[in-house]
A = this chain, B = another copy of it.
Amino acid sequence: MKLVVGNACPRHEIAAVPEDCAQCAVREIAVCTALSGPELERLRDIAVSKIFEPGSTLFAADEPATMVGTVVQGTIKCFKLLPDGRQQIVGFLFPGDFIGSPTQETTHGFAEALTRVELCLFPSPAIQRLIREMPNLERRLLTLASDDLDLAQEWMLLLGRKTAQERLATFLLLLAQKAKARGIADGPIDLPMNRSEIADYLGLSLETVSRQFSKLKSSGHIRIEHNNEVTIRNLDGLTEIAEGTA
């Protein structure tokens, strides 16, 4: 596996790259779970590891799509922009998530690192060749795309029809669920994004997000520590709020 350092990454930040997929932190949950043996080796052979510092841009909209890959470490926000600067975050990506679309020629949105991010990248021409030759890989990508589509549609329901309170509750439950999928034990949920970014994900203003946090806190549904660690104290109650059945 080759090692490349992102533009925004100072020399001294280069991380050690695992030679062996078996030791990879996200081996069990990323795209590569679809592969094993020689197929996995072929994928590893085209992989490039790249580090991005917090705040750095992974790609902008309407550029040629040169890379797709797996998030190994850190959190990414994917978003769309309106000409006047209004922003809608369409998804946060965590370790194990796949970034980029292997079928699209150009990017259709922006991606930015919220924390220090390590990516396991696959250059487009190479991955497209592999997809052709490895049906397992293509099936996995189709499954991922379908799941992403379903999540996006669930979010359309949230953005189109839910109240501010319901949106925040849904968001916290989603984070909890995603953390669980990554094998992170119950306990405080880490919020690698700030209030403004949560607002841009939920289609709200940052003040409204803050107010809704306060409400959930004072109603005893959650506890907040250091502004970026949330503990769910009443899962059922929070679920009812999220679904509008409270």
Contact = CB atoms under 8 A, between A and B. Distances in A.
Interface of A: 80, 82-84, 86-88, 90-91, 101-104, 108-109, 131-132, 135, 138-139, 141-143, 145-146, 148-150, 152-157, 159-162, 200, 202-203, 243-245
A160 to B, nearest CB: 3
Contacts of A159: 156, 159-160, 203
Nearest to A145: B145
Contacts of A108: 150, 153-154
A161 B82 contact: yes
Contacts of A83: 243-245
Nearest to A203: B160
| A-B CB proximity, top 10 nearest | A160-B203, A159-B159, A152-B152, A145-B145, A90-B153, A88-B157, A80-B157, A88-B160, A86-B161, A103-B143
Copies of this protein, total: 2
B202 A160 contact: yes
Nearest to A150: B108
A37 to B, nearest CB: 19
Given A244-B83, A245-B83, A101 B149 contact: yes
A7 B159 CA distance: 34
A90 B154 CA distance: 9
A156 B103 contact: no
Given A149-B149, A161-B203, 8 more contacts: A86-B161, A86-B162, A90-B157, A101-B146, A101-B149, A103-B142, A138-B142, A142-B145
